[in-house]
């Protein structure tokens, strides 16, 4: 149906490629904390709405049409929620356009042409600047879900959104988060740029939204201004938000600011409402470890969260075990459990596990052959991943460039062996090829990062 091609929604935004990246939304689990993107549990209803639209698109592209239409029904419910408290400088007509346009594409795939024709008659026409601004802003939100695969497009769209809706706090927040992502990709411990700071502050000043305030506190923490971070956490705490997501972020903030009393109160709020949530279990583990020095209780909570597919909590469990029993704890059984849990997700999780396995054989067993084997498998997950050249290992408690380690330690050690078997010789050749192709800066690309 040619009329559909003139609509604005994920089906017309040329998003087919991102569905096939490791950052596909259908590949997600609760291993959330790698970049603090907070996509699906966002405290911003409009972002939640756009997440359901993005999932509907992915399901439709995977030909799971019943699941796709179910997500659209969910987005329609969220649309009604957004209408009860419309964000400043937002066109609800544009939001309605995106939902209905997406619904039309899905119904067309389901051979329901009559339903499509009826909906087409009701879709708002978005031609004015405020409406176009919101279309661009919603598009930016959806591109932003795809992390580095969509970050460039997210920035391009959000700048257009701010032109059309300059007083919309969500667009300023999205722009700031995109800038933060680029900055931390280049240097994880860098400080926010003046532009990033301005955008976070603008978003909060427009909205006075506690969820956005959390990002301002995080910004001050990354600027090493602990007092301003703590002041912002206290400001949000005193606003008495009614969101478990916000209280979890507050808990982590207070733990980092060494305010055990308020961290405990925030966790108590969440425990009363969602005691089995994996993020709650993980943060409670951090609280028990850092604030109460209860290592056994912390390990128990980390283990429970890991069993719920919380990847970061699994790493916390590994790290604490190594801290408690350095030199005697064997991490390999837990790494094997993690591989069983996360292998189906692929991407950085599997790569991280394989890198830790390689380091285990190198650091603990002094076994160059098996270290090379697992490092090779990690490289093959994504040879362009920045993590390969700046990876922190919980096992060695150090950062390493895997290509450098292979070139200077492992490959020479293997080549020194007499009568090297054919399998190992072929493995060494393959690793040398990867080191030559991807071991230097010029072969790194932001778009190709996982």
Q: For the segment 37-75, what is each residue's pLDDT rounded down to a tens digit?
A: 454 446 799 999 999 999 999 999 999 999 999 999 999
Mind listing the pLDDT tens digit for each residue in 354-372?
999 999 999 999 999 999 9
pLDDT at 173: 97
Predicted pLDDT of residue 75? 97
- pLDDT for 32 equals 44
State both tokens at 442: 């010029």
Q: Which residue has the tokens 């991102």?
A: 18
Higher-confidence residue of 188 and 413: namely 413
Give the gyration radius of the chain's Cα atoms. 24
Residue among 189, 215, 191, 211 nearest 201 (CA): 215
Q: What local confidence, expressed as pLDDT, does residue 28 receive?
A: 66
Residue 317 lies in a domain: no
In a domain, 292, yes or no: no
Q: CATH no. for residue 58?
A: 1.25.40.10
Tell me what the mean pLDDT of segment 327-333 comes to.
Answer: 94
Closest CA to 397 of 305, 340, 450, 323: 323
Q: Give the pLDDT of residue 36.
A: 44
The beta-carbon contacts of 411-415 under 8 Å, at least 24 apart in sequence, are: 411/372, 411/435, 413/368, 414/368, 414/369, 414/372
DSSP, collapsed to helix, strand or coil, labels residue 63 as coil
Query: Which residue would you say has higher pLDDT here, 389 or 99?
Result: 99
Q: Give the span between the Cα atoms of 293 and 323, in whole angstroms.
A: 13
The predicted pLDDT at position 26 comes to 86
| Interatomic CA distance for residues 34 and 51, integer angstroms | 18
**What is the domain extent for residue 423?**
332-448
Q: Is residue 11 part of a domain?
A: yes
Is there a domain that residue 245 lies in?
Answer: no
Quick check: is 8 in a domain?
A: yes
Residue 407 in tokens:
């070139």
β-strands 398-400, 391-393: how paired? antiparallel
The pLDDT confidence band at residue 441, using thresholds 50, 70 and 90, is low
How many helices (H) and strands (E) are present in the chain, helices listed first?
A: 21, 2
Number of domains in the chain: 2
Is 383 a member of any domain? yes
More confident residue, 173 or 327: 173
User: Which of 188, 207, 226 is at the close of a domain?
Assistant: 207
> Among 336, 346, 342, 358, which residue's Cα sits nearest to residue 403?
358
What's the CA angle centered on 393, arms 390 and 395, to 5 degrees? 160
pLDDT score at 30: 43
Q: Is residue 325 part of a domain?
A: no
| Rounded mean pLDDT, 386-397 | 84
Distance CA 401, CA 381 (A): 16
The residue among 180, 207, 234 that closes a domain is: 207
Q: Answer yes or no: is pLDDT of 186 > 80.
A: no
Average pLDDT over residues 244-248: 94
φ, ψ dihedrals at 364, nearest 5°: -100, -35
- What does pTM read for this prediction? 0.85
**Residues 348, 201: one domain?**
no
Say if residue 207's pLDDT is above 90. Answer: yes
Q: How far apart are the first and last CA of the chain?
A: 36
- 166: three-class secondary structure by DSSP: coil
Please say which residue of 163, 179, 207 terminates a domain.
207
Query: In the predicted model, what is the mean pLDDT of the chain?
Result: 91
Among the residue ranges 181-195, 215-229, 434-448, the one predicted with the least confidence is 434-448
Residue with tokens 């904390």: 33
CB 158 within 8 A of CB 175: yes
The predicted pLDDT at position 35 comes to 41
Looking at per-residue confidence, does 427 or 25 come out higher? 427
344-353: average pLDDT = 89
Look at residue 204 and tell me whether its pLDDT is greater than 70.
Answer: yes
Residue 273 located in a structural domain: no
**Within this chain, do residues 6 and 146 fall inside the same structural domain, yes or no?**
yes
Summarised one tens digit per residue, pLDDT across range 101-148 is 999 999 999 999 999 999 999 999 999 999 999 999 999 999 999 887
């Amino acid at each position: 149906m040619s009329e559909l091609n003139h609509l604005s929604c994920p089906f017309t935004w040329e998003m087919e490629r991102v569905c096939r990246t490791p950052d596909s939304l259908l590949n997600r689990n609760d291993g959330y904390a790698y970049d603090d993107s907070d996509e699906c549990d966002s405290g911003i209803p409009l972002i939640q709405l756009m997440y359901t639209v993005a999932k509907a698109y992915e399901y439709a592209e995977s030909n799971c049409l019943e699941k796709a239409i179910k997500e659209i029904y969910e987005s329609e419910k969220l649309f009604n929620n957004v209408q009860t408290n419309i964000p400043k400088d937002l066109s609800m007509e544009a939001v309605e356009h995106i939902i209905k346009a997406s619904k039309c594409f899905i119904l067309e795939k389901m051979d329901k042409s009559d339903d499509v024709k009826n909906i087409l008659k009701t879709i708002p026409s978005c031609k004015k600047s405020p409406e176009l601004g919101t279309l661009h802003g919603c598009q930016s939100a959806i591109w932003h879900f795809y992390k580095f695969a969509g970050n460039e497009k997210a920035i391009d769209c959000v700048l257009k959104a701010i032109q059309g809706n300059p007083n919309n706090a969500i667009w300023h927040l999205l722009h700031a988060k995109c800038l933060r992502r680029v900055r931390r990709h280049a240097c994880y411990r860098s400080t926010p740029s003046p532009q990033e700071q301005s955008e976070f502050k603008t978003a909060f000043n427009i909205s006075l939204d506690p969820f956005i305030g959390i990002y301002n506190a995080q910004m001050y923490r990354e600027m090493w201004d602990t007092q301003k971070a703590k002041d912002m956490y206290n400001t949000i705490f005193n606003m008495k938000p009614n969101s478990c997501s916000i209280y979890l972020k507050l808990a982590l903030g207070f733990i980092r600011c060494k305010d055990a009393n308020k961290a405990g109160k925030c966790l108590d709020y969440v425990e009363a409402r969602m005691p089995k949530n994996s993020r709650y279990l993980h943060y409670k583990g951090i609280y028990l470890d850092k604030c109460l020095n209860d290592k056994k209780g912390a390990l128990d909570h980390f283990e429970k969260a890991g069993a719920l597919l919380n990847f970061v909590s699994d790493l916390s469990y590994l790290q604490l075990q190594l801290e408690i029993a350095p030199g005697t704890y064997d991490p390999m059984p837990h790494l094997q459990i993690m591989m069983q849990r996360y292998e189906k997700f692929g991407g950085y999780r599997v790569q991280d596990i394989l890198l830790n396995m390689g380091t285990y054989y190198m650091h603990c067993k002094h076994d160059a052959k098996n270290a090379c084997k697992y490092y090779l498998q990690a490289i093959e997950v994504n040879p362009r991943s920045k993590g390969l050249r700046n990876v922190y290992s919980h096992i060695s408690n150090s950062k390493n460039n895997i290509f450098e380690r292979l070139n200077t330690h492992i490959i020479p050690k293997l080549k020194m062996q007499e009568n090297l078997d054919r399998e190992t010789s072929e493995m060494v050749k393959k690793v040398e090829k990867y080191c030559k192709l991807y071991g230097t800066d010029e072969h790194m690309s932001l778009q190709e990062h996982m």
